Structure 1
Amino acid sequence: MFRKWLKLQTKCPSCGLNYNFAAPDDGPAFFSLCIVAFPLTFFVVWLQVAFEPPFWVHLVTSLPLMALGCVLPLQYIKGWLVASQYVNKAQEAGTENLWAQLHARAENEEK
């Protein structure tokens, strides 16, 4: 699925699926931050308030946990987002034909 760390191949080597539809953009970073960085930030603040450790403790523990915890799951999250885009047939939100499609759908439902 991936050519490089986060670069998608042009198509799947197993089934030939073209990955041009996939556009997860900033989604993996957002989910990684929400899953790892926000809870870890609360832990770091609690650690500082409860125990008042020296600054180097945060450099040795919190900084590597934050960096690794946010970077390592990026590829898995991007794969999940691409798969969910494929399963749900997600597309760009273009408005060129949207008005006509909505009215055609509404007319078909009325009949």
Structure 2
Amino acid sequence: MRGLCPRCGAKTLFASVVGFAPRCRACGLDYSAFNVGDGPAALLTLFLGGLIVGLAIALELTVGPPFWVHVLLWVPITAGLVIGALRVSKAALLYSEYHNDAGEGRQGEA
């Protein structure tokens, strides 16, 4: 969540809210060498989407608020959860790739 470099611990992992910087400004680690891909986004879409829909249905069945209440409630909650969770999941996947020395397309280097 704090965007720390997996090698040196400097706060240089993210260049934007959820976008990685090209490299660490402190130690020079190339973040573009890691392939995080769309896995975190797809997983969050399914998990958080199901959670928010379930909560919205529960609210509708118990309280029955007008539509505008749903919009004012669920849009910011969904956006906040997705951005926060996407940042954490992308960083966790990059950390995992770094610490396990994972690489795309490498075959049995011995």
- The question of a shared fold, defined as TM-score above 0.5 by the shorter chain, is answered with yes
SS at match of 1:73: helix
Identity of aligned residues (%): 29
1:72 corresponds to: 84
Moved over 4 A (4+): none
| C-alpha contact 2:18 2:83 (8 A) present in aligned 1 | no
Q: Which runs of 5+ in 1 are unaligned?
A: 106-111
Could you say which structure has the larger radius of gyration? 1
Cα RMSD of the aligned pairs, angstroms, is: 2.4
SS at match of 1:84: helix
What is the total number of aligned residue pairs between the two structures? 97
SS at match of 1:71: helix
| C-alpha contact 1:24 1:82 (8 A) present in aligned 2 | yes
| C-alpha contact 1:11 1:18 (8 A) present in aligned 2 | yes
- Which of 62, 76, 91 is the equivalent residue of 1:50? 62
Q: Which runs of 5+ in 2 are unaligned?
A: 1-12
Greater helix percent: which structure?
1
TM-score (norm 1): 0.69
User: How far apart are the structure 1 equivalents of 2:66 and 2:38?
Assistant: 35
User: How far apart are the structure 1 equivalents of 2:19 and 2:72?
Assistant: 31
